Amino acid sequence: MYKRSLLAVTLFCAFTVSAHAQSSVALYGLIDTGLIYTNNQLGHSNWQEVTSSTQNTVFGLKGTEDLGGGFRALFKLEQSFLLNNGAQAFAGSAFGSQAWVGLQSDPYGTLTFGRQFDVMNDLVGPLTAGYNTWGGSIAAHPFENDNLAANSVVINNSVKYASPTYHGVTFETMYSFSNKAGDFANNRSYGFGLSYAEGPLNLAAGYLQLNNAGNSTGAVTTSDTSANFIAERQRIWSLGGNYTFGPATVGLVWSHTQIDNAAAVFSFGTGSYLAANDASAGTLAGSLRLDNYEVNAKYALTEALSVAGAYTYTHGAYNGSSPGWNTAMLQTNYSISKRTDFYLEGVYQNVHGAPADSVVSHAMINTLSPSATDTQAAVTVGMRHSF
Protein backbone atom coordinates (compact mmCIF):
# COMPACT_ATOMS: atom_id res chain seq x y z
CA MET A 1 0.00 0.00 0.00
CA TYR A 2 2.82 2.37 0.91
CA LYS A 3 4.61 1.58 -2.36
CA ARG A 4 1.48 2.22 -4.42
CA SER A 5 0.94 5.57 -2.67
CA LEU A 6 4.54 6.56 -3.21
CA LEU A 7 4.25 5.63 -6.89
CA ALA A 8 1.07 7.72 -7.23
CA VAL A 9 2.72 10.75 -5.63
CA THR A 10 5.78 10.34 -7.86
CA LEU A 11 3.68 10.12 -11.01
CA PHE A 12 1.60 13.16 -9.95
CA CYS A 13 4.74 15.23 -9.33
CA ALA A 14 6.23 14.18 -12.66
CA PHE A 15 3.01 15.15 -14.48
CA THR A 16 2.90 18.50 -12.68
CA VAL A 17 6.51 19.32 -13.59
CA SER A 18 5.84 18.29 -17.20
CA ALA A 19 2.73 20.49 -17.38
CA HIS A 20 4.60 23.46 -15.95
CA ALA A 21 7.44 22.88 -18.40
CA GLN A 22 4.94 23.23 -21.28
CA SER A 23 3.57 26.55 -20.00
CA SER A 24 5.38 29.86 -19.73
CA VAL A 25 5.07 33.55 -18.94
CA ALA A 26 7.81 35.94 -20.07
CA LEU A 27 8.63 39.61 -19.60
CA TYR A 28 9.99 41.23 -22.77
CA GLY A 29 10.60 44.65 -24.25
CA LEU A 30 12.39 46.91 -26.69
CA ILE A 31 13.79 50.42 -26.13
CA ASP A 32 14.52 52.75 -29.05
CA THR A 33 15.95 56.20 -28.34
CA GLY A 34 18.19 58.77 -29.97
CA LEU A 35 18.81 62.32 -31.13
CA ILE A 36 17.19 63.73 -34.25
CA TYR A 37 17.76 66.90 -36.26
CA THR A 38 14.96 68.20 -38.52
CA ASN A 39 15.52 71.11 -40.90
CA ASN A 40 11.91 72.37 -40.67
CA GLN A 41 9.17 71.72 -38.13
CA LEU A 42 6.42 74.35 -38.31
CA GLY A 43 8.95 76.79 -39.74
CA HIS A 44 11.88 76.10 -37.41
CA SER A 45 14.82 73.72 -37.36
CA ASN A 46 14.79 71.41 -34.37
CA TRP A 47 17.10 69.20 -32.30
CA GLN A 48 15.23 66.62 -30.21
CA GLU A 49 15.84 63.71 -27.88
CA VAL A 50 13.25 61.23 -29.09
CA THR A 51 12.00 57.70 -28.71
CA SER A 52 10.51 55.18 -31.17
CA SER A 53 11.88 56.74 -34.35
CA THR A 54 12.28 53.26 -35.81
CA GLN A 55 10.54 50.76 -33.50
CA ASN A 56 7.95 51.17 -30.75
CA THR A 57 9.45 51.39 -27.26
CA VAL A 58 7.52 48.76 -25.31
CA PHE A 59 7.48 46.35 -22.42
CA GLY A 60 5.07 43.51 -22.00
CA LEU A 61 4.06 40.10 -20.75
CA LYS A 62 3.33 37.13 -22.98
CA GLY A 63 2.55 33.56 -22.16
CA THR A 64 1.22 30.19 -23.25
CA GLU A 65 -0.36 27.23 -21.50
CA ASP A 66 -0.61 23.71 -22.89
CA LEU A 67 -4.28 22.64 -22.67
CA GLY A 68 -3.74 19.18 -24.08
CA GLY A 69 -5.01 17.68 -27.30
CA GLY A 70 -2.80 19.98 -29.35
CA PHE A 71 -4.43 23.16 -27.98
CA ARG A 72 -2.70 26.06 -26.23
CA ALA A 73 -3.99 29.17 -24.50
CA LEU A 74 -1.92 32.30 -25.16
CA PHE A 75 -1.96 35.99 -24.27
CA LYS A 76 -0.03 39.22 -24.71
CA LEU A 77 -0.20 42.47 -22.72
CA GLU A 78 2.04 45.22 -24.11
CA GLN A 79 2.55 48.85 -23.10
CA SER A 80 4.08 51.33 -25.53
CA PHE A 81 5.71 54.35 -23.89
CA LEU A 82 7.87 57.40 -24.60
CA LEU A 83 11.31 56.94 -23.10
CA ASN A 84 12.19 60.64 -23.05
CA ASN A 85 9.42 61.53 -20.58
CA GLY A 86 7.90 58.21 -19.48
CA ALA A 87 4.45 59.02 -20.88
CA GLN A 88 2.14 56.47 -22.45
CA ALA A 89 2.41 56.41 -26.24
CA PHE A 90 -1.30 55.57 -26.46
CA ALA A 91 -2.84 58.07 -24.06
CA GLY A 92 -4.90 56.59 -21.24
CA SER A 93 -4.25 52.97 -22.21
CA ALA A 94 -2.47 50.75 -19.70
CA PHE A 95 -1.73 48.21 -22.45
CA GLY A 96 -2.30 50.38 -25.49
CA SER A 97 0.11 48.59 -27.78
CA GLN A 98 -1.48 45.14 -27.48
CA ALA A 99 -3.90 43.38 -25.13
CA TRP A 100 -5.31 40.05 -26.27
CA VAL A 101 -5.98 36.44 -25.33
CA GLY A 102 -6.70 33.43 -27.50
CA LEU A 103 -6.47 29.76 -28.44
CA GLN A 104 -3.95 28.12 -30.74
CA SER A 105 -3.93 24.76 -32.46
CA ASP A 106 -1.29 23.44 -34.84
CA PRO A 107 -3.82 21.92 -37.28
CA TYR A 108 -6.55 24.58 -36.95
CA GLY A 109 -4.75 27.92 -36.43
CA THR A 110 -4.98 30.75 -33.90
CA LEU A 111 -8.03 32.71 -32.73
CA THR A 112 -7.43 35.83 -30.61
CA PHE A 113 -9.64 38.48 -28.98
CA GLY A 114 -8.81 42.03 -27.84
CA ARG A 115 -6.78 45.06 -28.92
CA GLN A 116 -4.54 43.95 -31.78
CA PHE A 117 -2.62 45.01 -34.88
CA ASP A 118 -4.53 44.56 -38.12
CA VAL A 119 -3.97 41.59 -40.42
CA MET A 120 -2.49 43.64 -43.27
CA ASN A 121 0.12 45.07 -40.91
CA ASP A 122 0.91 41.50 -39.82
CA LEU A 123 1.53 40.12 -43.31
CA VAL A 124 2.32 42.95 -45.77
CA GLY A 125 4.00 45.26 -43.24
CA PRO A 126 7.14 43.10 -42.87
CA LEU A 127 7.87 43.62 -46.58
CA THR A 128 8.20 47.42 -46.15
CA ALA A 129 11.07 49.53 -44.85
CA GLY A 130 8.67 51.34 -42.50
CA TYR A 131 7.92 48.15 -40.57
CA ASN A 132 11.47 46.87 -40.14
CA THR A 133 14.36 47.87 -37.91
CA TRP A 134 16.35 48.84 -41.01
CA GLY A 135 13.94 51.71 -41.73
CA GLY A 136 11.21 51.88 -39.13
CA SER A 137 8.44 54.32 -38.29
CA ILE A 138 10.28 57.39 -39.56
CA ALA A 139 10.45 55.81 -43.04
CA ALA A 140 6.66 55.29 -43.32
CA HIS A 141 4.61 56.39 -46.30
CA PRO A 142 3.08 59.93 -46.07
CA PHE A 143 0.75 60.27 -43.07
CA GLU A 144 1.23 56.51 -42.50
CA ASN A 145 -1.80 56.33 -44.79
CA ASP A 146 -1.74 52.55 -45.33
CA ASN A 147 -1.03 51.25 -41.79
CA LEU A 148 2.04 49.32 -42.96
CA ALA A 149 4.67 50.91 -40.72
CA ALA A 150 5.85 49.61 -37.36
CA ASN A 151 2.58 49.04 -35.51
CA SER A 152 1.22 52.57 -35.23
CA VAL A 153 -2.50 51.76 -35.57
CA VAL A 154 -3.98 49.36 -33.01
CA ILE A 155 -7.57 48.16 -33.32
CA ASN A 156 -9.98 47.62 -30.42
CA ASN A 157 -12.76 45.04 -29.98
CA SER A 158 -11.20 42.74 -32.54
CA VAL A 159 -11.47 39.03 -33.29
CA LYS A 160 -8.60 37.74 -35.41
CA TYR A 161 -8.01 34.35 -37.03
CA ALA A 162 -4.62 33.23 -38.37
CA SER A 163 -4.37 29.95 -40.24
CA PRO A 164 -1.57 27.43 -39.91
CA THR A 165 1.08 27.67 -42.62
CA TYR A 166 0.44 25.22 -45.47
CA HIS A 167 3.24 24.89 -48.01
CA GLY A 168 4.36 28.42 -47.21
CA VAL A 169 0.86 29.98 -47.36
CA THR A 170 -0.72 31.80 -44.37
CA PHE A 171 -4.15 33.43 -44.25
CA GLU A 172 -5.44 35.96 -41.68
CA THR A 173 -8.77 37.71 -41.22
CA MET A 174 -10.24 39.93 -38.52
CA TYR A 175 -13.38 41.81 -37.55
CA SER A 176 -13.48 44.67 -35.05
CA PHE A 177 -16.77 45.65 -33.44
CA SER A 178 -18.08 49.16 -32.85
CA ASN A 179 -19.54 47.95 -29.52
CA LYS A 180 -22.38 50.45 -29.96
CA ALA A 181 -26.00 49.45 -29.39
CA GLY A 182 -28.11 50.34 -32.40
CA ASP A 183 -25.05 51.56 -34.34
CA PHE A 184 -23.32 48.35 -35.41
CA ALA A 185 -21.36 49.75 -38.38
CA ASN A 186 -20.24 53.04 -36.81
CA ASN A 187 -16.47 52.82 -36.18
CA ARG A 188 -15.94 49.18 -37.04
CA SER A 189 -13.11 47.60 -39.00
CA TYR A 190 -12.49 44.41 -40.97
CA GLY A 191 -9.83 42.99 -43.24
CA PHE A 192 -7.93 39.98 -44.53
CA GLY A 193 -4.43 39.12 -45.67
CA LEU A 194 -2.57 36.32 -47.45
CA SER A 195 1.14 35.60 -47.49
CA TYR A 196 3.53 33.12 -49.09
CA ALA A 197 7.05 32.46 -47.80
CA GLU A 198 9.21 29.74 -49.26
CA GLY A 199 13.00 29.86 -49.33
CA PRO A 200 14.25 33.30 -50.46
CA LEU A 201 10.84 34.48 -51.73
CA ASN A 202 8.18 36.31 -49.69
CA LEU A 203 4.86 37.56 -51.10
CA ALA A 204 1.83 39.10 -49.37
CA ALA A 205 -1.41 40.94 -50.09
CA GLY A 206 -4.17 42.40 -47.96
CA TYR A 207 -7.25 44.56 -47.57
CA LEU A 208 -8.36 46.70 -44.62
CA GLN A 209 -11.44 48.88 -44.11
CA LEU A 210 -12.16 51.38 -41.33
CA ASN A 211 -15.64 52.88 -40.99
CA ASN A 212 -15.91 56.25 -39.19
CA ALA A 213 -12.56 55.88 -37.47
CA GLY A 214 -12.01 58.29 -34.62
CA ASN A 215 -15.22 57.97 -32.64
CA SER A 216 -14.56 57.61 -28.94
CA THR A 217 -15.55 54.01 -28.23
CA GLY A 218 -15.20 52.04 -31.45
CA ALA A 219 -12.56 50.04 -33.28
CA VAL A 220 -10.11 52.92 -33.88
CA THR A 221 -10.30 55.95 -31.61
CA THR A 222 -8.87 59.44 -31.25
CA SER A 223 -8.78 59.26 -27.46
CA ASP A 224 -5.71 57.01 -27.49
CA THR A 225 -4.19 58.48 -30.71
CA SER A 226 -4.69 55.25 -32.67
CA ALA A 227 -6.51 56.94 -35.56
CA ASN A 228 -4.42 58.33 -38.42
CA PHE A 229 -7.43 59.89 -40.18
CA ILE A 230 -10.85 61.13 -39.16
CA ALA A 231 -13.03 60.07 -42.08
CA GLU A 232 -16.32 58.43 -43.00
CA ARG A 233 -14.45 55.49 -44.56
CA GLN A 234 -10.87 54.41 -45.21
CA ARG A 235 -10.10 51.49 -47.50
CA ILE A 236 -6.61 50.11 -48.07
CA TRP A 237 -5.35 47.53 -50.57
CA SER A 238 -1.71 46.37 -50.54
CA LEU A 239 0.57 43.97 -52.38
CA GLY A 240 4.27 43.31 -51.98
CA GLY A 241 7.17 40.92 -52.19
CA ASN A 242 10.85 40.58 -51.48
CA TYR A 243 13.67 38.25 -52.48
CA THR A 244 16.85 37.39 -50.58
CA PHE A 245 20.05 36.35 -52.29
CA GLY A 246 23.14 35.98 -50.16
CA PRO A 247 23.56 39.02 -47.92
CA ALA A 248 21.09 41.15 -49.92
CA THR A 249 17.31 41.53 -49.78
CA VAL A 250 15.31 43.60 -52.26
CA GLY A 251 11.60 44.35 -52.13
CA LEU A 252 8.72 46.03 -53.93
CA VAL A 253 5.47 47.16 -52.27
CA TRP A 254 2.34 48.83 -53.64
CA SER A 255 -0.57 50.11 -51.60
CA HIS A 256 -3.72 52.05 -52.47
CA THR A 257 -5.64 54.08 -49.90
CA GLN A 258 -9.09 55.63 -50.42
CA ILE A 259 -10.29 58.07 -47.76
CA ASP A 260 -13.87 59.31 -48.07
CA ASN A 261 -15.20 62.49 -46.46
CA ALA A 262 -11.95 63.17 -44.62
CA ALA A 263 -12.07 65.72 -41.81
CA ALA A 264 -8.59 65.59 -40.23
CA VAL A 265 -5.27 63.78 -40.16
CA PHE A 266 -3.42 62.88 -36.99
CA SER A 267 0.32 63.31 -36.54
CA PHE A 268 1.89 61.11 -33.89
CA GLY A 269 4.71 63.63 -33.64
CA THR A 270 2.58 66.67 -32.84
CA GLY A 271 0.01 65.01 -30.58
CA SER A 272 -2.85 67.01 -32.13
CA TYR A 273 -5.24 66.85 -35.05
CA LEU A 274 -3.55 69.02 -37.62
CA ALA A 275 -6.61 70.12 -39.51
CA ALA A 276 -8.51 71.00 -36.35
CA ASN A 277 -5.91 72.44 -34.02
CA ASP A 278 -2.97 73.69 -36.06
CA ALA A 279 -3.79 76.61 -38.34
CA SER A 280 -0.35 76.56 -39.95
CA ALA A 281 -0.98 73.05 -41.29
CA GLY A 282 -4.00 73.97 -43.36
CA THR A 283 -7.23 72.01 -43.80
CA LEU A 284 -8.29 68.54 -44.90
CA ALA A 285 -11.79 67.91 -46.24
CA GLY A 286 -13.27 65.77 -49.00
CA SER A 287 -11.90 62.66 -50.67
CA LEU A 288 -8.23 61.67 -50.71
CA ARG A 289 -6.72 58.90 -52.86
CA LEU A 290 -3.13 57.75 -52.42
CA ASP A 291 -1.05 55.17 -54.31
CA ASN A 292 2.30 54.29 -52.70
CA TYR A 293 5.06 52.64 -54.75
CA GLU A 294 8.02 51.53 -52.63
CA VAL A 295 11.32 49.92 -53.57
CA ASN A 296 13.64 48.89 -50.74
CA ALA A 297 16.90 47.05 -50.23
CA LYS A 298 19.10 45.83 -47.38
CA TYR A 299 22.66 44.55 -47.57
CA ALA A 300 24.68 42.91 -44.78
CA LEU A 301 28.27 44.07 -45.13
CA THR A 302 29.29 41.88 -42.19
CA GLU A 303 27.42 39.88 -39.57
CA ALA A 304 27.20 43.06 -37.45
CA LEU A 305 27.12 45.90 -40.02
CA SER A 306 24.38 46.54 -42.57
CA VAL A 307 23.14 49.28 -44.88
CA ALA A 308 19.59 49.79 -46.14
CA GLY A 309 17.64 52.20 -48.27
CA ALA A 310 14.14 52.80 -49.60
CA TYR A 311 12.38 55.13 -51.99
CA THR A 312 8.61 55.66 -52.15
CA TYR A 313 6.69 57.67 -54.71
CA THR A 314 3.15 58.48 -53.58
CA HIS A 315 0.65 59.67 -56.17
CA GLY A 316 -2.43 61.40 -54.79
CA ALA A 317 -5.80 62.75 -55.89
CA TYR A 318 -7.38 65.40 -53.66
CA ASN A 319 -10.31 67.67 -54.55
CA GLY A 320 -9.29 68.03 -58.19
CA SER A 321 -5.54 68.30 -57.53
CA SER A 322 -2.83 65.65 -58.05
CA PRO A 323 -0.31 65.90 -55.21
CA GLY A 324 2.81 63.74 -55.29
CA TRP A 325 5.30 62.80 -52.59
CA ASN A 326 8.91 61.65 -52.88
CA THR A 327 10.17 59.97 -49.71
CA ALA A 328 13.71 58.57 -49.47
CA MET A 329 15.46 56.80 -46.59
CA LEU A 330 19.03 55.63 -45.98
CA GLN A 331 20.24 53.81 -42.86
CA THR A 332 23.35 52.13 -41.57
CA ASN A 333 23.16 49.85 -38.56
CA TYR A 334 25.78 48.23 -36.30
CA SER A 335 24.98 45.50 -33.78
CA ILE A 336 27.33 45.19 -30.84
CA SER A 337 25.44 42.19 -29.43
CA LYS A 338 22.31 40.13 -30.07
CA ARG A 339 20.27 42.61 -28.02
CA THR A 340 21.89 46.03 -28.63
CA ASP A 341 22.52 47.97 -31.83
CA PHE A 342 23.16 51.52 -33.03
CA TYR A 343 21.83 53.20 -36.18
CA LEU A 344 22.29 56.34 -38.26
CA GLU A 345 19.36 57.19 -40.51
CA GLY A 346 18.33 60.01 -42.80
CA VAL A 347 14.91 60.65 -44.36
CA TYR A 348 13.92 63.23 -46.99
CA GLN A 349 10.41 64.08 -48.17
CA ASN A 350 9.11 66.45 -50.83
CA VAL A 351 5.49 67.09 -51.84
CA HIS A 352 4.26 68.93 -54.94
CA GLY A 353 0.99 69.68 -56.69
CA ALA A 354 -1.20 70.03 -53.59
CA PRO A 355 -3.55 72.96 -52.80
CA ALA A 356 -1.56 75.53 -50.82
CA ASP A 357 -4.08 75.80 -47.99
CA SER A 358 -4.29 72.05 -47.30
CA VAL A 359 -2.54 69.65 -44.94
CA VAL A 360 -1.28 67.63 -47.90
CA SER A 361 0.81 70.57 -49.15
CA HIS A 362 3.14 70.23 -46.14
CA ALA A 363 5.92 67.66 -46.02
CA MET A 364 5.58 65.59 -42.85
CA ILE A 365 7.99 62.77 -42.06
CA ASN A 366 6.24 60.22 -39.88
CA THR A 367 6.59 60.79 -36.09
CA LEU A 368 7.62 64.44 -36.67
CA SER A 369 5.70 67.72 -36.70
CA PRO A 370 4.94 68.95 -40.24
CA SER A 371 7.15 71.28 -42.22
CA ALA A 372 5.99 74.80 -42.99
CA THR A 373 7.01 74.14 -46.61
CA ASP A 374 6.81 71.33 -49.14
CA THR A 375 10.12 69.74 -48.08
CA GLN A 376 11.46 68.20 -44.88
CA ALA A 377 14.68 66.39 -44.02
CA ALA A 378 15.66 64.62 -40.81
CA VAL A 379 18.75 62.79 -39.56
CA THR A 380 18.71 60.62 -36.46
CA VAL A 381 21.33 58.67 -34.56
CA GLY A 382 19.93 56.16 -32.13
CA MET A 383 20.29 53.08 -29.99
CA ARG A 384 18.03 50.04 -29.56
CA HIS A 385 18.07 47.50 -26.78
CA SER A 386 15.79 44.48 -26.48
CA PHE A 387 15.16 42.25 -23.48
- pLDDT above 90 for 295: yes
pLDDT in tens, 241-265: 999 999 999 999 999 999 999 888 8
**324 Cβ partners below 8 Å, 6+ apart?**
313, 314, 315, 316, 351, 352, 353
Residue 216 forms part of a structural domain:
yes
Structural domain count, the chain: 1
Q: Is 22 within a domain?
A: no
pLDDT band at 221 (very low <50, low <70, confident <90, very high): confident
Domain that holds residue 354: 27-386
In angstroms, the CA 129 to CA 147 distance is 13
- Residue 14 in any domain: the answer is no
Can you give the pLDDT at residue 325?
98
In-domain check, residue 13? no
174 vs 91, which has greater pLDDT? Answer: 174
More confident residue, 91 or 239: 239
Task: Kindly state whether residue 6 falls inside one of the protein's structural domains.
Answer: no
Rounded-to-integer distance, Cα 35 and Cα 55, Å? 14
**Is 3 within the bounds of a domain?**
no
Q: Which residue has the higher pLDDT, 20 or 180?
A: 180
Average pLDDT on 142-156 reads: 88
**CATH code of the domain in which 274 resides:** 2.40.160.10
Q: How far apart are CA 376 and CA 387, in angstroms?
A: 34
Closest to 235 in 3D by CA, of 206, 217, 259: 259
Average pLDDT, the chain: 89
Q: Strands 109-117 and 340-352: what pairing?
A: unpaired
Classify residue 352: in a domain, yes or no: yes
306 within a domain of the structure (yes/no):
yes
